[in-house]
Chain A
Amino acid sequence: MSKTATQKWSDKVQADWVVTAKKRGGLFISKLSLYTVLISLSFVFLYPLLFIVSQSLMMSTDVSDSTVQWIPQSLSFSNYLDAFLALGGAQSRTYWDAFMYSGIISFGSAALQVFSCALAGYAFGRYRFPGYTLFLSLVLFAFLVPPQTIIVPLFQLFSDFGWINTFYPFIVPSLTGHGLKGALFVLIFIQFFHRLPFVLEEAARIDGASAFRTYWTIMLPLARPAMLVVFLFSVVWHWNDVFEPNLYLRVPNYYNLSQTLAIFNGVGSAQIDAATAGLNAAQTIGVAPTMMNKIMAAAMLSILPMLVLYLFTQRYFVESVERAGIAGE
């Protein structure tokens, strides 16, 4: 009895480091299934991008041709030219004007949010003060309040200031650590500063640096991973946001990319509706001058800046989330 037990034990020990043929086969199969799952999931994630690219390069005849699924019969780059002009959203505006508006809103707000959310995060992460718990729960509260609840007074406030159709409704809340997902960014900074060792600060303070100098020259440079993750996320979320620009930029001359894209889409569906009025679904095939290819070209143009940004900063997006400790504990 005891002998068989010993036998089994030694078998197990051997099996851990001797790679038998059977084990290698099992390893191969598990590797194969792992990569199969990963690659097929990757397809799902790449699907929107592939869809946009493939549609945007098609001629109208290919879009309505049901035999053409992915690969266009002939490439057509003219969609991009049309989309480039249409994304201006108004006469005498092109893609570049809307692009500038999107860029100023997203990069400006992102830079300001990094600055202000780091300040607030530092206060919570490094100090204990009366009202700490109260204010911390206010941060959490601000994180959880849906923007839907406060749009009416907020819009009123900004129009009282005369800020409609300007950048101020984006810039000023960002400057104070609010704005789009501001509370989340404060929470990220709190987590990050909380984990830094206290010795660094003490050394600086003993050497006579003021609180702000310590913060600016020692703690903030250390917070680079957190700053990077906040900046990148803020840029991307502001770029993709449709809600706030729709609220505060109300004249076509001030529209940003996400707005002009939506308008272009509206024009496209209106044309399709007009062409197919009174026809049933089967009859519409091939009749409507579909604008899907042009709309997809516009979609591609509006996400292209973010794609380029992502291409160069992909590593930081993924790594900095780990280092900045979004997850916290």
Chain B
Amino acid sequence: MKKKLRLTIRMRTVLEAYSFLSLWLIGFAMFMAIPLGRSFYYAFNKMNVTKEGLTPEWTGTLNFRRAFSTDVNFLPLLQNSFLELLIQVPLILIFAMFAALLLNRPLVGRTFFRGVFFLPVIIASGAVLAEILEQGAERMPLFTSTGLFMTLSNVIPPNILEPLLNLADQLTLVMWNSGVQILIFLAGLQTISSSLYEAADIDGATKWESFWKITFPMIAPMILVNTLFTIVNSFTAANNQMMAYIRTVVFNQNDYGYGAAIGWIYFLMIFLIIAFVFWLFRKNLSNTEGRR
């Protein structure tokens, strides 16, 4: 008790909270807020490399216009990375949910299976994944083998079959990317009390019904968490082409202003997607707020 200061209890707790938070706040200012502001400023400038370092030269929205008009690489890249995200996120969610439901049952060797399902997070998330992808190992021989393609193309027209098989090929990548998501779903499943299922069973609900009426609503918050995690995780993925492109622009072409501009465009697009995700889950969010 410091009597000299004569602080109220409320003041004291607030001070304590801020002192716990101070380190993080300093970091936020240095490594997030200021860089973000500076990168926003750079985006409207042409950065000239001179003896005194970088000198900005105001060009207005030129960098942004360049991204959408004269740069032949940027738009296809942006389109690809978002198309990939839009395909992968639902697939990862569905697969992770499926795997979590499987692993949540009483099993012999449950720890082993969980360990195996999580293995790609350890080994296939960085440079090694890039190597394996380059060798084409993610394409399971099952789907790309020409025999299957030829047989199926007699039945299904090739222009429908090809995207389908490509999607099937991507499935391995989807599985390798869903380790953390499986764990999150699993954690969610284990918080659901078994008495709910018992009650539903007594009332005559089938397994299918109790999945949609109990399991699904109960782990809906985890779906939001997983969606956000999957999106955020894709930024630093070893095969994120936008990352590679910005690095080339900045460090090989020394075009700092333009690099900042496309970084911002990417960010705004991501932000729109995330806003859309939050809008989808708005009902769910308001529910959890009430529960706390």
Task: List A residues at the B interface (Cβ < 8 Å).
Answer: 34, 37-38, 41-42, 44-49, 51-52, 55, 116-117, 119-120, 122-124, 127-130, 135, 138, 141-157, 160, 173, 175-182, 184, 186, 211, 215, 236-237, 239-243, 246-247, 257-259, 261-262, 265, 269, 292, 295-296, 299, 302-303, 306-307, 309-310, 314-315, 317-318, 321-322, 325-329
Query: Does B58 lie at the interface of the complex (its beta carbon under 8 Å from any beta carbon of A)?
Result: no
Question: Closest chain A residue to B27 by CB distance?
Answer: A176
Does B35 lie within 8 Å of A153, measured CB to CB? yes
Nearest CB on A from B159, distance (A): 24
> A51 and B42: CB pair below 8 A?
no
Query: Are B113 and A42 in contact, CB atoms less than 8 angstroms apart?
Result: yes
A-B contacts at CB below 8 angstroms, number: 273
**Given contacts A152-B256, A307-B122, A322-B190, are A123 and B137 in contact (CB under 8 A)?**
no
Residue of B nearest to A208 (CB): B1
Indicate whether A48 sits within 8 Å of B124 (C-beta atoms), given known contacts A154-B31, A327-B188: yes
Closest 3 CB pairs of A and B: A176-B27, A240-B126, A127-B17
List of A residues within 8 angstroms of B14 by Cβ: 127, 129-130
Between-chain CB contacts (< 8 Å), 8 pairs: A42-B113, A144-B271, A147-B235, A151-B246, A178-B27, A181-B236, A182-B27, A258-B127
Known contacts A38-B102, A44-B140, A240-B125; A150 and B130 CB within 8 A of each other: no
Asked whether, in the complex, the Cβ of B24 is within 8 Å of the Cβ of A177, the reply is: yes
Q: How far is the CA of A126 from the CA of B34 in the complex (A)?
A: 28
With A48-B132, A242-B238 given, can you name 15 additional A-B contacts, CB distance below 8 Å?
A: A127-B17, A128-B17, A130-B14, A145-B32, A145-B267, A149-B260, A160-B53, A181-B236, A259-B127, A299-B127, A309-B122, A321-B183, A325-B187, A327-B222, A328-B225
Interface presence of B82 (CB below 8 A): no
* Residue in B16, B21, B140, B188 whose beta carbon sits within 8 Å of that of A135 in the complex: B21
Report Cα–Cα, A239/B243, bound state, in Å: 18
Q: Assess the A326–B123 pair: CB atoms within 8 A.
A: no
Once A307-B122, A321-B184, A325-B187 are accepted as A-B contacts, the answer to whether A152 and B172 lie under 8 Å apart by CB is: no
CA distance A291 to B225 in the complex (A): 42
Are B175 and A45 within 8 A (Cβ)? yes
Q: Which of A51, A142, A143, A317 contacts B137 (CB 8 A)?
A: A51
For A146, list chain B residues within 8 Å (CB): 235, 263, 266-267, 270
A318–B24 CB distance below 8 A? no
Distance of A235 from chain B, by nearest CB (Å) = 10
Contact A150 B274 (CB under 8 A): no
Contacts of B28 in A (CB 8 A): 138, 142, 176, 178
Q: Which of A176, A237, A302, A315 contacts B24 (CB 8 A)?
A: A176
Is B121 at the interface (CB under 8 A from chain A)? yes
Contact with A along B136-179 (1 / 0, CB 8 A): 01001000000000000000000000000000000010011000
Query: With A45-B117, A150-B35, A152-B42 as given contacts, are A129 and B18 in contact (CB-CB < 8 Å)?
Result: yes
Residues of chain A within 8 A (CB-CB) of B221 are 327-329
Name the prevailing secondary structure of the A interface residues: helix
**Is there contact, CB below 8 Å, between A154 and B24?**
no
B240-289 residues at the A interface, CB under 8 angstroms? 242-243, 246-247, 250-251, 256, 259-260, 263-264, 266-267, 270-271, 274, 288
Q: In the bound complex, what is the Cα–Cα distance between A160 and B34 (angstroms)?
A: 14
Tell me the bound Cα distance from A311 to B132 in angstroms.
22
Given contacts A37-B102, A148-B243, A176-B27, contact A127 B16 (CB under 8 A): yes
B39 touches A150 (CB 8 A): yes
Q: Is B127 a contact of A242 with CB atoms below 8 Å?
A: yes
Bound: A258/B128 CA distance, A? 8
Q: Is the CB of B127 within 8 A of A302?
A: yes
Partner of A42, one of B38, B117, B183, B190: B117
User: Is the Cβ of A302 less than 8 Å from the Cβ of B291?
Assistant: no
Distance, CA A211 to CA B16, complexed state (A): 7
Give, as a whole number of angstroms, the nearest-CB distance from A42 to chain B: 5
CA distance A317 to B117 in the complex (A): 12
A135–B25 touching, CB < 8 Å: yes
Are B39 and A152 in contact, CB atoms less than 8 angstroms apart?
yes
A153, B228: Cβ atoms under 8 Å? no
The residues of A that contact B137 with a CB separation of less than 8 Å are 47-48, 51
Among A44, A152, A215, A240, which residue has its beta carbon within 8 angstroms of that of B127? A240
Q: Provide the residues of chain B in CB contact with A138, threshold 8 Å.
A: 28
